[in-house]
């Protein structure tokens, strides 16, 4: 008798994609103004997705370390009320049993669909005078929010959606066409959400692609030094702001990143570094530090990881990162290395650099730990 398959989809693949989609929907539910506070932004959707991904892992091969890490991810949520580490652990364990090309394609097209709807609806509502489609004036800059809670939030979603699309089309798109797409993206991000961070992120990727194409002899030493160099730069800049000597930094860096590094310095005044992290209760609050009042934000990803998830959580984030970079260097996988270099640079400016549902290159960190899986099929006779 004939065996009928639904799109040749395996049961465990189905569980993964529904779970992954639930996390993406929950992410957009929290950052789109119209859906904030709705069911889409609730932890019900989030933990439904997490449960499906864990079930997916359980019907695949897993280790005791996978179980321990997942339990620790849940404990980090209880401690810090932040889902970033839990999502990172669960998705990284799950995605190693998937075809990363298909996962990247799913991410790219799902994100593009949501962003396309938001962009089209935004201009309709803007013309109608709806409060959901308001313009933001931040630091004297007129910025379009495209229904998102902040223009930068929309911009980062656009950046990594475009990068995901370019990744899955890397074998068919010529180099010049890739640059055209990136250039148009950068112009759009500058003119509408007016996100300097997003524009710089696009330019960093274009620079990496240039190195890949024209300076491969320089690429290996470059990627080896960028991680320690970034760490040194972050420590130095935080120290300068903490001691009040930020004047030595150029005006551009001060204008673009002042809030990032001053926020990091404030975090060191408010909290102690510990093993398991803190609930950052003062985020968004007005605090009195070093003789002055200011609103406390902590966008510098490296420092926020350290305070939110502690030394243990920071190690969990960065061990896969270093192992993956080492493997991709040995394999000469310059495309993935370019994407990871973008994550490193982006982490200086935005906390979402280590949000695995936003920054899709983090999914590639699973490849050094890839295992064979047990496959179950959905069939009807």
Confidence band of 231 (pLDDT split at 50, 70, 90): confident
- Looking at 146, 162, 194, the residue that finishes a domain is 194
SS3 category, 110:
helix
The pLDDT of 165-173, averaged and rounded, is 96
Same domain assignment for residues 248 and 333: yes
Phi, psi of 286 (to 5 degrees): -85, 125
Q: For residue 287, give the 3-state DSSP assignment.
A: strand
**Distance set, CA 119 to CA 115, 131, 188, 192 (Å):** 6, 15, 12, 11
Give the pLDDT band of residue 375 (cuts 50, 70, 90).
Answer: very low
Residue that is written with structure tokens 């005044």 in the block: 269
362 lies in the same domain as 259: yes
* In a domain? residue 157: yes
In a domain, 123, yes or no: yes
Q: What is the pTM of this model?
A: 0.85
Identify whether residues 144 and 240 lie together within a single domain.
no
Looking at the fold, whether 242 and 358 belong to one and the same domain comes out as: yes
**Tally of structural domains, the chain:** 2
Q: Is 37 left (phi over 0), alpha (psi -120 to 50) or beta?
A: left
Q: How confident is the model at residue 11 (pLDDT cuts 50, 70, 90)?
A: confident
Looking at every residue in the chain, the average pLDDT score rounds to: 85
In a domain, 3, yes or no: no
Q: Please indicate, yes or no, if residue 135 is contained in any of the structural domains.
A: yes
CA distance linking residue 338 with residue 347, whole number of Å: 14
Tokens 């996988």 correspond to 333
- In whole angstroms, give the CA distance from residue 248 to residue 304: 24
Q: Please tell me the distance from the alpha carbon of residue 66 to that of residue 321, in angstroms, as a whole number.
A: 17
Q: How confident is the model at residue 16 (pLDDT cuts 50, 70, 90)?
A: very high
Identify whether residues 119 and 230 lie together within a single domain: no
Residue 134: inside a domain, yes or no? yes
Residue 87 lies in a domain: no
**Domain containing 355: what range?**
215-376
If you compute the radius of gyration of the chain from its CA atoms, what whole number of angstroms results? 21
Domain membership of residue 14 (yes or no) is no
Number of residues assigned to the chain = 381
CA separation for the pair 23, 30 (Å, rounded):
11
């Amino acid at each position: 008798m004939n065996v009928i398959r639904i799109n040749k989809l395996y049961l465990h693949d189905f569980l993964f994609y529904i779970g992954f989609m639930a996390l993406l929907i929950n992410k957009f539910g929290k950052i789109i103004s119209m859906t904030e506070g709705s069911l889409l932004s609730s932890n019900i959707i989030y933990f439904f997705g997490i449960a499906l991904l864990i079930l997916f892992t359980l019907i695949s091969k897993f280790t005791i370390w996978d179980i321990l890490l997942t339990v620790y991810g849940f404990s980090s949520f209880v401690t810090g009320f932040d889902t970033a580490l839990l999502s990172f652990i669960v998705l990284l364990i799950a995605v190693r049993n998937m075809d990363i090309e298909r996962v990247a394609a799913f991410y790219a097209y799902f994100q593009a669909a949501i962003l396309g709807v938001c962009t089209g609806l935004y201009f309709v509502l803007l013309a109608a005078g709806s409060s959901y489609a308001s313009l933001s004036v931040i630091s004297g800059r007129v910025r379009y929010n495209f229904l998102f809670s902040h223009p930068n939030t929309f911009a980062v979603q656009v950046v990594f959606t475009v990068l995901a699309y370019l990744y899955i089309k890397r074998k068919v798109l010529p180099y010049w066409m890739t640059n055209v797409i990136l250039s148009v993206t950068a112009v759009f991000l500058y003119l509408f959400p007016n996100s300097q961070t997003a524009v710089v992120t696009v330019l960093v990727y274009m620079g990496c692609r240039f190195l890949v194409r024209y300076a491969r002899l320089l690429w290996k030493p470059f990627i080896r030094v960028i991680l320690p160099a970034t760490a040194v730069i972050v420590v130095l800049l935080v120290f300068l702001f903490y001691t009040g000597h930020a004047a030595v930094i150029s005006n551009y860096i001060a204008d673009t990143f002042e809030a990032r590094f001053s926020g990091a310095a404030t975090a060191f005044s408010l909290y102690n570094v510990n093993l398991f992290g803190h609930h950052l209760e003062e985020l968004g609050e007005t605090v009195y530090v070093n003789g002055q009042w200011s609103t406390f934000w902590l966008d510098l990803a490296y420092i926020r990881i350290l305070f939110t998830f502690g030394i243990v959580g920071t190690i969990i984030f960065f061990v896969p990162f270093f192992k993956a970079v080492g493997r991709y260097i040995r394999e000469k996988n310059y495309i993935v290395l370019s994407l990871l270099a973008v994550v490193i640079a982006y982490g200086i400016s935005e906390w979402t650099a280590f949000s695995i549902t936003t920054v899709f290159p983090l999914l590639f960190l699973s490849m050094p730990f890839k295992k064979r899986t047990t496959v179950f099929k959905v069939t009807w006779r």
